[in-house]
Amino acid sequence: MKTLKVGDKLPNFECINENEEIINSNDFIGKKLIVFFYPRANTPGCTAEACNLSENYQKLTDLGYQIIGVSCDKPKSQKNFSTKFGFPYPLLADVDQKVVKLFGVWGTKKMYGREYEGIYRMTFIFESDGILERVIDKVNTKDHTNQILNG
């Protein structure tokens, strides 16, 4: 699967969020956007990453960024995750894997000697013109905001 590269345009997508509202990529036209992909809601690494972004949400929005998180969890799981930690940004429930495949973050993973299909933990940062400025493929879940801000 081909992952988006710097210079690529924000893919056109539509997906429901944790509240089962439709989120469309066109909603972010003219806005800087951080899209972070995580394997599964309420797991330690995913919680650390999402909470780090939440704790620094004001700092990121002051710089003009919108944030969305994406996993293949069902809306109910995303809702529970968001409610439990009070996330101020939407979590997309990409149950049919359309968004993860558009971004190229779905594929074979290995853990404990077994292979399985899943989401690669990655973050994409788009400028307000919809052009991909940066890709973070080695996410530091506990200090992700600094990775975003300090390149």
Active site amino acids: 46
With CA atoms as reference, report the closest residue to 2 among 142, 132, 139: 132
Calpha distance 100→125 (Å, rounded): 15
The amino acid at residue 66 is Q
Residues 6 or more apart whose Cβ sits within 8 Å of residue 26 = 12
Phi first, then psi: give them for residue 102, nearest 5 degrees: -60, -40
CB of 11 closer than 8 Å to CB of 103 = yes
Instruction: Give yes or no for a contact between 72 and 94, defined as CB atoms under 8 angstroms apart.
Output: yes
Q: For the CA atoms of the chain, what is the radius of gyration?
A: 14
Q: Measuring CA to CA, which residue among 22, 23, 18, 20 is closest to residue 80? A: 18
